[in-house]
């Protein structure tokens, strides 16, 4: 058994969000972090490794500096890493990215009892599309928004975190699960793990490695081939602090109803 | 000469910083206020390999280097000097002397458990009548009819004592004649376990700073330990103690460095928020110059500390380097934290902010593991000034 985890290095939006004159994000000017939901996915895989001794492979598509993030994940306990990196892949939207990542996952090899993990969505694009698209391309059953995962043999029970409640689904391996950050708290790297992480295998998949895979249509990848075009990026206006009302008496409730009514919310 | 960290050291720095910010900082005020030894934090550090950073993997260590250990104590001490000294005393004063002087059997028995944090370590040299004057030892160890050692005496101000499982104890094992025929004490080092008969931990000291660290008295009343607990050769205890303190000074210098850096970080943040006379106080030249001076001084201390660590790592002589690092870093920490309290004004004097705690914590770095005066003695002796 093995777990393959797809991860993305994203700009650290807790700092300043830099936008270039052409409206796209200035990624080079911003610090980078591992996407929060993806870290939950890595932790989920590492917990399965703790329990079963299975192998964990982390895979990321990105520029060469993304190796630093992959080394950190190896220092947390992942066994192998794959960096999917080529100029031809740059600027890919979710449609293009999922083709490339699906081909990469296929090349790593999906066996009967394997689980593919992804984060629900990345904090830069917020699309939540890549994980499900990879599953579709690989013809794997998918369960999104995992907030609890239990593995028993080839059966995986997943509690999904939805806006209005939970949904529990049982699925057979091989399958793809997308994780929300509420799933767990990711572990730290360990000192010993850091000392070993540069000795662990990290393979680079470039354009030549993947271009002949039928999952990839070379005309629909990269910035040119991606059907999505971003016209502008901007920081959203800061929301107001909101208003707190205290009290459980009739007068307070009436006041609340009146305010909501005035704002045409009810 | 290369002043850059290796890629592994950069990652370790990130780990230590993240851990300190997320796990240690939130507890720092409580650890101080309630004199609480942070046991849970120690367990978490053990799981991450922070209690045996620079010892080889074959002994349960993490296989990193002395500079990485220095950065761990530095990052911890930026937010909580108590947590910093727990790691420093355990590593430099207990694991290191066993690693450097122990037999293969002693290393195999003690280091894996110490490095994995199953056991915590401490070091007993100081006595009521023997602080800076380490030759004034009164604790004695004599061999009994079985060849085992029987220890009698007491130690004071022992860091980690209340929670430690393994102690390096320095004791007098006889008298020797020096080259001029004068009598002097023969001093030896021993490994003592908490559960050894006749060994007990006494009074807990109430301190001005690093209040969460456990500082206690050790009492040995006919404490019998097997003969294989002698650490190093009989009569080499004084040299072992001095060499151990050389390493310990790098740890305390790192603690002092962290305190100074932590105080500056907090003060920069505060002066950018605090408004007086219609301006942020960071806009006043007094604030700017004070912080510039403090930062420059702290950076200078940092390179002394890092250089001492590198010399120890490379097995070069580092006694004077460790003394200089500790002297400069400790005096910098005291000066910087005092000036930072001043920049905070009245709020700096209250426990609402961490600055008064940092100022109290900094003072001890000028005293323990050799006072600043002792460091000056070591440095001048190494310069041949006598």
Predicted confidence (pLDDT) per residue in A54-64, tens digit: 999 999 999 99
| Nearest CA among B329, B137, B335, B375 for reference residue B235 | B137
Residues on chain B touching A73 (C-beta within 8 angstroms): none
Of A14-18, B62-66, B304-308, the poorest mean pLDDT is in A14-18
Q: Which of B49, B52, B116 has the highest number of chain A CBs within 10 A, making it the mutation to test binding with A?
A: B49
Contact state of A192 with B12 under an 8 Å Cβ cutoff? no
Q: Which of residues 1-20 of B touch A (CB under 8 A)?
A: 7-8, 11-12, 14-15, 18-19
Is residue B116 classed exposed, middle or buried when 0-12, 13-18 and 19+ CB atoms within 10 A define those classes?
middle
Q: Coil, helix or strand for A116?
A: strand
C-alpha B179/C-alpha B382 separation (Å) is 22
Kindly report, residue by residue over B26-54, the tens digit of the pLDDT. Answer: 999 999 999 999 999 999 999 999 999 99
A2-225 is classed in which CATH architecture?
Answer: 3-Layer(aba) Sandwich (3.40)
What confidence score (pLDDT) does residue A241 get?
78
**Distance from the A39 Cα atom to the nearest Cα atom in chain B, whole angstroms:** 15
pLDDT at A23 over 70: no
Q: Give the pLDDT band (50/70/90) at residue A24.
A: low
- Do the beta carbons of residue A124 and residue A11 sit within 8 Å? yes
* Lowest pLDDT segment from A19-23, A99-103, A177-181: A19-23
What does the pLDDT look like over A189-241, one tens digit per residue?
999 999 999 999 999 999 999 999 998 888 888 888 888 877 777 777 777 77
Confidence band for A128, pLDDT divided at 50, 70 and 90: confident
- The pLDDT value recorded for residue B15 is 98
The whole-number average pLDDT for the span B51-60 is: 97
Instruction: Please provide the average confidence, as pLDDT, over all residues in chain B.
Output: 96
Question: Residue range B222-231: average pLDDT?
Answer: 97
Tell me which H or E stretch contains A55.
strand A55-61
In chain A, which residues have their Cβ closer than 8 Å to the Cβ of B56? none
Residue A201 token pair? 């295998």
B112 touches chain A (CB under 8 A): no
Res A227: pLDDT: 86
- In this prediction, residue A113 carries a pLDDT of 95
| Chains A–B, number of C-beta pairs less than 8 Å apart | 46
pLDDT at A91: 81
Inter-chain CB proximity B48 and A197 less than 8 Å: no
Separation of alpha carbons B324 and B316, rounded Å: 15
Residue B97, min C-alpha distance to chain A (Å):
22
Distance in Å, alpha carbon of A265 to nearest chain B alpha carbon = 37
Q: What CA–CA distances, in Å, run from A199 to A75, A81, B10, B78?
A: 10, 11, 16, 31
**Which residues of chain B neighbour A198 with C-beta distances below 8 Å?**
7-8
Q: What is the mean pLDDT of residues B215-221?
A: 97
| Average pLDDT for B278-305 | 97
Q: Report whether A173 contacts A114 (CB < 8 A).
A: yes
| DSSP assignment letter at A30 | S
Best probe of the A interface among B6, B7, B11, by most A CBs < 10 A, is B11
Whether A71 contacts chain B with CB within 8 A: yes
Q: Do A194 and B18 touch (CB under 8 A)?
A: no
Inter-residue contact B330 to B338 (CB < 8 Å): no
Query: Catalytic residues of B, which ones?
Result: 369
Sheet of A2-7: strand order equals A165-172, A155-162, A142-152, A175-179, A115-119, A2-7, A55-61, A80-84, A202-205
Tell me the chain B residues in contact with residue A72 when contact means C-beta distances shorter than 8 Å. Answer: 11, 14
Instruction: Give tens-digit pLDDT for B192-210.
Output: 999 999 999 999 999 999 9
- A64 and B CB contact within 8 Å: no
> Nearest chain A Cα to B20, which residue?
A188
Q: What is the pLDDT of residue A154?
A: 94
Residue range A129-186, pLDDT digits in tens: 898 999 999 999 999 999 999 999 999 999 999 988 999 999 999 999 999 999 999 9
- Return the pLDDT at A95: 87
Q: What is the ipTM score, two decimals?
A: 0.92
Which residue in chain A has the smallest CA separation from B69? A191
How distant is the Cα of B9 from the closest Cα of chain A, in angstroms? 9
Q: What is the band of B7 on the pLDDT scale with cuts at 50, 70, 90?
A: very high
Q: What is the pLDDT of residue A126?
A: 78
Q: CB A195 to CB B19 under 8 A?
A: no
B11 contacts in chain A (CB < 8 Å): 71-72, 75, 189, 194, 197
| B24 and A CB contact within 8 Å | no
Q: Return the closest-CA partner of residue B28 out of B87, B81, B89.
A: B81
Q: Give the pLDDT score at A30.
A: 82
B154 touches B120 (CB < 8 A): no
**Residues of chain A contacting B50 with CB distance shorter than 8 Å:** 191
Per CB-CB distance under 8 Å, the chain B contacts of A64 are none
Helix H or strand E segment including B155? strand B149-159
Q: Domain locations in chain A?
A: 2-225
Which residue of chain A comes nearest to B60, CA vs CA? A192
The residue in chain B having the minimum alpha-carbon distance to the alpha carbon of residue A187 is B48
- Average pLDDT of chain A to the nearest whole number: 91
């Amino acid at each position: 058994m093995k777990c393959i985890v797809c991860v993305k290095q994203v700009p650290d939006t807790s700092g300043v969000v830099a936008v270039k004159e052409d409206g796209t994000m200035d990624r080079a000017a911003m610090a980078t972090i591992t996407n929060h939901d993806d870290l939950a996915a890595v932790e989920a895989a590492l917990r399965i490794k703790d329990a079963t001794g299975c192998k964990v492979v982390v895979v990321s598509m990105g520029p060469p500096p993304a190796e630093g993030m992959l080394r950190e994940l190896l220092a947390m306990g992942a066994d192998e890493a794959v960096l999917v990196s080529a100029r031809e892949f740059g600027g890919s939207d979710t449609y293009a990215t999922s083709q490339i990542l699906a081909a990469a996952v296929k090349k790593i090899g999906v066996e009967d009892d394997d689980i593919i993990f992804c984060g629900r969505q990345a904090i830069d694009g917020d699309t939540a599309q890549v994980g499900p698209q990879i599953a579709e391309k690989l013809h794997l059953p998918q369960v999104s928004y995992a907030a609890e995962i239990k593995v028993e043999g080839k059966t995986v029970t997943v509690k999904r975190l939805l806006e209005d409640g939970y949904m529990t689904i049982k699925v057979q391996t091989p399958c793809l699960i997308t994780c929300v950050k509420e799933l767990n708290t990711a572990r730290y790297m360990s000192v010993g793990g850091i000392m070993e992480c540069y000795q662990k295998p990290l393979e680079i998949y470039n354009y030549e490695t993947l271009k002949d895979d039928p999952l990839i249509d070379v005309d629909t990848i990269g910035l040119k081939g991606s059907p999505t075009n971003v016209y502008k990026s901007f920081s959203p206006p800061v929301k107001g602090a909101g208003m707190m009302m205290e009290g459980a008496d009739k007068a307070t409730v009436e006041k609340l109803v009146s305010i909501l009514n005035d704002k045409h919310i009810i | 000469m290369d002043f850059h960290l290796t890629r592994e050291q950069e990652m370790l720095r990130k780990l230590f910083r993240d851990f300190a910010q997320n796990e240690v900082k939130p507890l720092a005020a409580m650890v101080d206020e309630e004199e609480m030894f942070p046991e849970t934090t120690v367990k978490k550090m053990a799981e991450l390999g922070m209690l045996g950073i620079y010892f080889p993997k074959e002994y349960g260590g993490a296989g990193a280097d002395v500079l990485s250990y220095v950065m761990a104590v530095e990052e911890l001490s930026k937010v909580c000097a108590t947590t910093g000294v727990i790691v420093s005393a355990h590593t430099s004063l207990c694991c290191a002397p066993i690693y450097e002087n122990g037999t293969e059997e002693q290393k195999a028995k003690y280091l894996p458990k110490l490095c994995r944090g199953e056991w915590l370590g401490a070091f007993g040299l100081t006595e009521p009548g023997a602080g800076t004057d380490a030759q004034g030892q009164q604790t004695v160890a004599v061999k009994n009819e079985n060849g085992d050692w029987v220890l009698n005496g007491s130690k004071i101000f022992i860091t980690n004592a209340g929670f430690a499982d393994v102690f390096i104890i320095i004791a007098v094992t006889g008298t020797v004649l020096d080259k001029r025929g004068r009598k002097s004490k023969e001093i030896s080092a021993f490994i003592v376990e908490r559960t050894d008969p006749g060994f007990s931990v006494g009074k807990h000291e109430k301190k001005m700073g690093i209040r969460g660290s456990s500082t206690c008295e050790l009492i040995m009343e006919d404490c019998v330990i097997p003969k294989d607990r002698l650490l190093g050769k009989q009569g080499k205890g004084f040299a072992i103690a001095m060499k151990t303190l050389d390493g310990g000074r790098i740890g305390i210098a790192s603690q002092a460095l962290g305190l100074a850096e932590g105080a500056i970080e907090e003060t920069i943040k505060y002066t950018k928020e605090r408004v007086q006379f219609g301006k942020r106080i960071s806009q006043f030249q007094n604030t700017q110059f004070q912080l510039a001076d403090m930062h420059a001084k702290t950076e200078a201390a940092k390179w002394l500390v890092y250089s001492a660590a590198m010399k120890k790592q490379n097995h070069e002589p580092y006694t004077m380097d460790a003394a200089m690092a500790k002297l400069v870093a400790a005096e910098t920490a005291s000066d910087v934290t005092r000036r930072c309290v001043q920049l905070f004004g009245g709020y700096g004097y209250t426990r609402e902010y961490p600055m008064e705690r940092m100022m109290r914590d900094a003072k001890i770095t000028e005293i323990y593991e050799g006072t600043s005066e002792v460091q000056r003695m070591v440095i001048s002796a190494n310069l041949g000034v006598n």
